[in-house]
Structure 1
């Protein structure tokens, strides 16, 4: 009765002035203000009492809108939002609710190392489900091969799955094949094939005609990234999928990179009517892979292990792809489903390493004297008579290795995600229950102020090489320089001396240092679930950069404009970030 009277009175009420409008606005905003205040206070209280009470759930990141929680802030600017929360919570994990997902963000440092050390109690399956279902579009009937497998990645199945058919253990079999066939002799053959194809491509490239090697005229390219990207991608795909793939799919490169530009549309699960072109281009990539599979199966049918003995052959390419064909046949995956698994493989082996290779090459070109130092360091790795490359020797060179590591530190924003297989785990004073999703992001550890060496302290008060800049020598320790090395040392006086220009002789005596960086630098993830393709990625990136520099001379058309090119944050937090904008260069063949 009283409620009816109030409703009638409110319906009959009419605002009479600005004060009434303010009162109504305040009344409407009150629930959101109260929600934010309560979640803020709860988060602050849990954070500040963590040392007194162990075994607590981490605090929530505050939010204002019940139901949506942290969704809007995270969706609008995931990097900025996470950065602000990390600043607020410091070394304390915090809980986020984004759409239907609830997860805990683990800050860089010791807690993250504890998480990686607890790998046996964790699984990456939920992330696999999201990637295969949402990003790559695995048909629902094929998703069942993932849903039903909770046996873990180890040779011994987890409790309750001891009697599972070994052929149906997708997670273990996939983990085994990737680790076995992306290392050792199989890796050596695939990398050698990549370098051979890539070297041939650069020598025969029509973008820079050979006739220019005599007259030394420059060709202007509108975008260095696009040139490097397409050359690397074609060589990497051929090394992985064989000689016939691009003959069957000549436009695949442009289709694939358009698919890559739409990754966030898929992961956000936008409906087809809102992202029609995004889904159309994904369908085109899958159709291309189905076409290749049909051709390979017709000319090189695989019935069992006998057909997987060759390390490489022209129809299926790498031994890994034939081993995966047997695995997917055993799982009765559909033809389309197999192509989707292939798409996931292609994306994982290209979409991260190629942007990072661009940032490495761009830094070399833009830094005075660095091209000459890299060429001098790597010259002994090339055989002038055969055109071959000693990959092992190349990947051991200090300066080039430092550039490779710095490219990963500078450009990678990968997000490992783990779920619990056990009832609970504790990281420091924080307790996580079964069903919890724990995430971290390499981006923030790679930019942790006070942790990384930023060079000398300038008179302006700014560091010589800030954490958000590319410094080719950041990972090198020089015998004559106690201020060198990747980590900031506690003695501030070390950073007051003037910088000594480095020489080819200095580089030869330098040592690459990674000790102490693990909790802050994890571009390939960590623990037993660390990316199995990291060895191929390293060899591919370092050899591609070295071959490019040996074949071509580069000049930036406009250095100031090139310096303004930023990382494209629209790709965050899916992995390596490509450039936002085009880097114009002049290019010509190098005289040797």
Structure 2
């Protein structure tokens, strides 16, 4: 009897499994289950994304096994926009980042796992909804980031501090003398990192650690791969680099906290030399309010610095590359930014960062670089059953929207003579007619990006949209404007990472996974002369 039942049962189960699979999105194949896709994602991201783009041309949703995570990759404006609604959360992905890329302790992670009330002011229904507001770690974190990264005061303070520190870096070059063999991206990785770090956390962390910049750029490569939570034996080197940089941040924090008077007048100062900005002090105070360990606070500052530098500096490098390859575009931007110049009491020229963000051509160039080089998998988890592209996904499904697919869509971005895959500085402006002060009709450029929801999302979207986006925008535009206005710059040649001549221009570095703006795999050698 058993011999008769087993074949029938096997046939029934196989048929049921086939029917279940037929109601699921197609799957991105892999040679070795649980290994092939994540390995390619980590080691040859360009090839991985080429496969993803190819299959998403045929279907707006595809399943993909990335190590331990089964994800659904989606494209299309409406499908991407669904992920930014309240039925999705980024909390599980943030937990992975904090624990694996930040190195938070299990004791401190327990605060996050215990709080299911969410980030909004109104708590979600459930066991955590009765928590006192000050004990809701997701909500207080969100509010702290709003207060220190989004409000006008901290953004204005950062713009002032950054310009001052970056000016010091630029003034190290002699005025009116040509300096040879400047590699633009290497310069930015060193000097822009130094200026922005001092502006946000003060000078002590660099004074205490002469190798801080090298340690940071080693760490910068690790968060994306660490976040997936692969076994330590696979990511041993990345874990070691994370722990080293986390220790640098922890030791700095311990000394800064010891020496700082939290009840004194510097607590409200926009900048002071111990903790730096309100961004830094706000993070420290919030972490202290939950009695975080020094290890976790060090990890928090490591992630803060990663967010500060990892996207901004590559984007700034790409903007400079594109301007210097196109002398006509370079001169047009150089003329445009004069509209944002201001003279302070010290008679030095600075820039109004708010004015810079309103300059149409500069904004178009910046947006175009973001479109081409920000490559992020925006990751959300469904909090209920959801329907995407006709498929019903169960509660707890991980949905990822690759910016690279949406940002390179030809039907959205292509223009005659300017395919979506190529840089075109004027892609996001249009020419309009307007009356000048005397009433004469004149033509001018206007920045234009309306109707792009779900097709352009370099900072994500919804409640989890990047809180530091305004400071990031200000930093890029200020750095570019300061370089363009203060220097005569001449292109010399492209060089490889070892400084040797390269026969081709830079492209995206394939080693970087979909978590940050992709840096260039080549550098641009220039000669420059400081004008003032």
Q: CA deviation at 1:101?
A: 0.8
Kept in 1, the 8 Å contact 2:220–2:310? The answer is: yes
Residue correspondence of structure 1 range 343-358 to structure 2 within 5 A: 343-358=302-317
Structure 1 position 585, deviation (Å): 1.6
Match of 1:22 in 2: none
Deviation at 1:153, TM superposition (A): 0.5
Question: What is the Cα deviation at residue 563 of structure 1?
Answer: 4.8
Which among 530, 540, 562 is matched to residue 475 of structure 2?
Answer: 540
Structure 1 counterpart of 2:430: 477
Q: Return the TM-score normalized by structure 1.
A: 0.78
Tell me what 1:409 maps to. 371
Q: Is the 8 A contact 1:556 1:562 kept in 2?
A: no
> Are 2:129 and 1:162 equivalent residues in the alignment?
yes
Deviation at 1:308, TM superposition (A): 4.0
1:356 deviates by 0.6
State the Cα distance separating 1:528 from its structure 2 match.
Answer: 1.8
Q: 1:451 to 1:387 in 2, by over 3 A?
A: same
Matches within 5 A, 1:93-172: 93-116=61-84, 118=85, 120-160=86-126, 161-172=128-139
The Cα offsets for residues 200-229 of structure 1, whole Å up to 9 and x where unpaired, read as 2212x2xx333xx1xx434222x2101012
Alpha carbons of 1:291 and 1:92: their partners in 2 closer, same or farther (altered >3 Å)?
same
Instruction: Determine the C-alpha separation between the residues in 1 that align with 2:139 and 2:42.
Output: 34
For these two proteins, the number of residue pairs brought into alignment is 499
- Residue aligning to 1:492: none
Query: What secondary structure does 2:386 align onto?
Result: strand
2 CA distance for matches of 1:64 and 1:436? 23
Change (3 A) 1:199 1:279: same
Q: Give the whole-Å Cα distance in 1 for the aligned partners of 2:30 and 2:340.
A: 56
Listed as ranges, the matches of 1:80-91 within 5 Å are 80-89=47-56, 90-91=58-59
CA deviations 1:391-414 (Å, max 9, x no partner) are 111221111111111111111001
Of residues 168, 177, 197 in structure 1, which corresponds to 2:144?
A: 177
Which residue of structure 2 lines up, in the alignment, with residue 15 of structure 1?
none
Who is 1:509 aligned against? 444
User: Which region of structure 1 is more displaced relative to structure 2, 88-97 or 540-549?
Assistant: 88-97
- Structure 1 residues 276, 529: CA separation in 2 closer, same or farther (over 3 Å shift)? closer
Q: How far is 1:438 from its partner? A: 0.8
Which residue, out of 534, 549, 564, partners 2:484? 549
String of CA shifts for 1:515-573, please: whole Å, max 9, x gaps.
12222210000122111111111111001000011122222212694752211021121
Any idea what SS the aligned residue of 1:580 has?
A: coil
1:193 correspondence with 2:161? yes
Work out which of the residue numbers 362, 375, 390 in structure 2 matches 1:429.
390
Aligned partners of 1:474 and 1:287: how far apart in 2?
44
Match of 2:205 among 245, 253, 258: 245
Which structure shows the bigger proportion of residues in strand conformation? 2
Does the CA contact (< 8 Å) of 1:571 and 1:577 recur in 2? yes
Displacement of 1:288 after TM fit?
A: 1.9
SS, match of residue 460 in structure 2: coil
Structure 2 vs 1, CA of residues 575 and 508 (structure 1 numbering), >3 Å: closer, same or farther? farther
**Correspondence for 2:362:** 400
How far off its partner does 1:445 sit? 0.8
Cα distance in 1 for residues equivalent to 2:414 and 2:184: 29
Give the Cα separation in 2 of the matches to 1:454 and 1:335. 52
Q: What is the aligned partner in structure 2 of residue 25 from structure 1? A: none
In 2, the alpha carbon distance for the partners of 1:64 and 1:563 equals 33
Q: Residues 429-508 of structure 1 correspond to what in structure 2 (within 5 A)?
A: 429-456=390-417, 465-479=418-432
The alignment status of 1:386 with 2:348, answered yes or no, reads yes
Aligned to 2:330: 371
Structure 1's 58 and 272: CA in aligned 2 closer, same or farther, altered over 3 A? closer
Query: How do 1:324-343 residues align onto structure 2 when only pairs under 5 Å count?
Result: 324-343=283-302
Structure 1 counterpart of 2:275: 316
Structural RMSD (CA):
2.8
Q: Using the alignment, how far apart are the partners of 1:193 and 1:507 within structure 2?
A: 38
Deviation at 1:124, TM superposition (A): 0.7
Give the match for residue 295 of structure 1. 255
Tell me, yes or no, if the aligned pair for 1:413 and 1:574 is still in contact at 8 Å.
yes
Pick which of 97-106 and 73-82 moved more.
Answer: 73-82
Distance 1:398 1:437 in 2: 37
Change (3 A) 1:64 1:243: closer
Q: Confirm whether residue 209 of structure 1 aligns to residue 188 of structure 2.
A: no
Q: Could you tell me which runs of 5 or more consecutive residues in structure 1 were left unpaired when the two chains were aligned.
A: 1-34, 47-55, 457-464, 481-505
Q: Could you tell me how far apart the structure 1 residues matched to 2:184 and 2:350 are? A: 25
Shift of 1:98: 2.1
CA–CA distance in structure 1, aligned partners of residues 234 and 65 of structure 2:
24
Contact 1:91/1:108, CA 8 A, preserved across alignment: no
Give the SS at the match of 1:588: strand
In structure 2, the partner of 1:493 is none
TM-score, normalization: structure 2? 0.86
2-side partners of 1:66 and 1:391: how far apart? 49
Equivalent pair of 1:103/1:437 in contact (CA under 8 Å): yes
1:178 & 1:515 partners in 2: Cα distance? 27
Shift of 1:131: 0.9
CA change 1:562–1:377 in 2 (3 A) is farther
By how many angstroms is 1:265 displaced? 5.0
Cα deviation digits, residues 131-175 of structure 1 (max 9, x gap): 112222222222212222211000111112122243332211111
Aligned partners of 1:509, 1:129: CA distance in 2, in Å?
A: 47
Question: Secondary structure of the residue that 1:473 maps to in structure 2?
Answer: coil
1:227 and 2:227 are equivalent in the alignment: no
Q: CA deviation at 1:279?
A: 3.4
- Tell me the equivalent position of 1:92: 60
Aligned to 1:282: 242
Contact 2:225 2:513 in 1 (8 A): no
> 1-side partners of 2:65 and 2:262: how far apart?
46
Larger radius of gyration: 1
